Amino acid sequence: MPEGHHGPQSLRSRAGRTMSLRTRITEMFGIEHPILQGGMQWVGRADLVSAVANAGGLGFITALTQPNPEALAREIARCRSMTDKPFGVNLTILPTLSPPPYAEYRAAIIESGVRIVETAGYRPQEHVDDFKRHGIKVIHKCTAVRHALSAERMGVDAISIDGFECAGHPGEDDVPGLILIPAAADRVRIPLVASGGFADGRGLVAALALGAEGINMGTRFLATREAPIHDNFKAALVAGDERSTELIFRTYRNTARVRRNAVSTEVRRLEALGEPFEAVAPLVKGARGREGLETGATDHGVFTAGLAQALIQDVPSVAELIDRIMREAAEIIGARLGGLRS
C-alpha cells in the first residue's frame, strides 16, 4: 500500500459478540463494522438505515426519495428515534433540466444535525464545500480513479469506488472491482470503500486485500427483512444469478445496471433500434419503478440490482446478515489465510 494507507488494525473477539475489524473507515465514522449501506432510491428509508446502524454498520437515508426537504427532515428525525448510532444521508446530484431544490435538501441535512453525508453524481463541489464548513464528513461515490482523485482534491473525507458489477450507474469505462479497487488504492490517499458485487464475508476480506477499508452494499441489503420493498422483489433476488441483470441506457452514454425484466428487455430492444431516450422515458420513469416496488409487480418498471444477486440465497434480518459477514470474514482471516505458511 502507498504511504499513508493503513489496513485493518485488528481482528478481535468479544465474548458473545461478533468479531470486529477496525479500519480508518470505522474510526472515521464511529461504527463497529466496515460495512456501509449506500443511498438507494425509494429504499434508503429510516427502517433499513436504522437497522444497519443498530447492527454496527453505516446506513444512508436517500434524500431524493423524500418528496421535499421538509419530509427529509422528518425522515431523519424518525431514523434518530430508532437508533442512537451513527447514520448518514445520501445526496445525489443529477444533471436534469428541472433539478430538485438541492440547496434546500442540503440545508435540511445540515439543520437536522447529520454528521455524515454520501454524495454522488454531477459536480458536487458546492455541496461538499457547505457540508465541510459545517463539520460534516463526506464520502463521495465514484466509478473511475480519475473521478476519485478529483473528489479527493475537492476535499471529501473518503471515497466509495464503484466497480462495473454495481447496481445503478457503473460509469462508461466497464472496469470491474478486481482492477478498479487496487488501482484506486494505489493513488488515492484518503480512505476507500469498495462498492459493487459485495454480499458476504469473502467479499469483505477481498476488498481489504485489494486496498479498501470497508465495503458498500446495496443489492444485498435489498434482500433483508427490513428493506422497504415488496417480498416479490426479495424473492426475485434470491432466485437470480450472475446473468440476471441487464445494462440499459448504453446508447445514451448513461449506462445503468438493472434486474432483467419485461421493461428492461423492451428498453434494450428500443435502444437497438436507435430510438431516442424520449421513446423509453415513459417505461423507466421513477414513479413507475416506485409503484412496482410497493405493489410487488416485478415487471411494472425498472428495478435496480447488481451482480451481487448471484450470491444472495436468503432474506435474513440486517443484524443476521452483518453478523454472518463478520463471522465469515473472521473465519477466512483466521483459519484460511492464517493457515498459509511460506
Does 8 reside within a domain? no
- Per-residue pLDDT at 337: 64
Most confident of the following: 5-9, 97-101, 303-307: 303-307
Q: Which has the closest alpha carbon to 115: 179, 31, 51?
A: 31
Q: What is the mean pLDDT of the chain?
A: 93
User: Model confidence over 118-177: pLDDT tens digits?
Assistant: 999 988 999 999 999 999 999 999 999 999 999 999 999 999 999 999 999 999 999 999
The three-state DSSP-derived secondary structure of the chain is CCCCCCCCCEEECCCCCCCEEECHHHHHHCCCCCEEECCCCCCCCHHHHHHHHHCCCEEEEEHHHCCCHHHHHHHHHHHHHHCCCCCEEEEEECCCCCCCCHHHHHHHHHHCCCCEEEEEECCCHHHHHHHHHCCCEEEEEECCHHHHHHHHHHCCCEEEEECCCCCECCCCCCCCHHHHHHHHHCCCCCCEEEECCCCCHHHHHHHHHHCCCCEEECHHHHCCCCCCCCHHHHHHHHHCCCCCEEEECHHHCCCEEEECCHHHHHHHHHHHCCCCHHHHHHHHCHHHHHHHHHHCCCCCCCCECCHHHHHCCCCCCHHHHHHHHHHHHHHHHHHHHCCCCC
* Same-domain check for residues 74 and 180: yes
Q: Are residues 208 and 260 in the same domain?
A: no
Same domain, 266 and 180: no
Answer whether 0.85 is exceeded by the pTM.
yes
What pLDDT is stored for residue 2 in this prediction?
42
Q: Has residue 129 been placed in a domain?
A: yes
Q: Is residue 322 part of a domain?
A: yes
* Phi (first) and psi of residue 341, to 5 degrees: -130, 140
Among residues of the chain, what percentage have pLDDT more than 70? 92
> Are both 193 and 278 inside the same structural domain?
no
Provide the pLDDT for residue 94: 87
238 part of a folded domain: no
Question: Does 18 or 249 have the greater pLDDT score?
Answer: 249
- Say whether both 263 and 168 belong to one domain: no
- Same structural domain, 152 and 267: no
Q: 249 and 219, same structural domain?
A: no
Residue at 244: amino acid letter = S
Q: Tell me: do 118 and 222 sit in the same domain.
A: yes
Residues 258 and 175 occupy one common structural domain: no
CATH value at residue 139: 3.20.20.70
282 in the same domain as 329? no
Number of domains the chain is built from: 2
Is 321 contained in some domain? yes
Question: How far is 82 from 92, CA to CA, in rounded Å?
Answer: 24
Q: Are residues 299 and 333 in the same domain?
A: no
Asked if the structure places residue 342 within a domain, the reply is: no
Are 330 and 265 members of one domain? no
**What phi and psi, each to the nearest 5 degrees, are found at residue 304?**
-70, 130
Detail the DSSP E strand segments found in the chain.
Answer: 10-12, 20-22, 35-37, 58-62, 88-93, 116-121, 137-142, 158-162, 192-195, 215-217, 245-248, 256-259
Look up the domain containing 287 and give its range.
245-304
Structural domain includes residue 14: no
Answer whether 32's CB lies under 8 Å from 67's CB: no
Q: Name every residue whose Cβ is closer than 8 Å to that of residue 66 and which is 6 or more positions away in sequence.
A: 72, 75
pLDDT band of 341, cuts 50, 70, 90: low
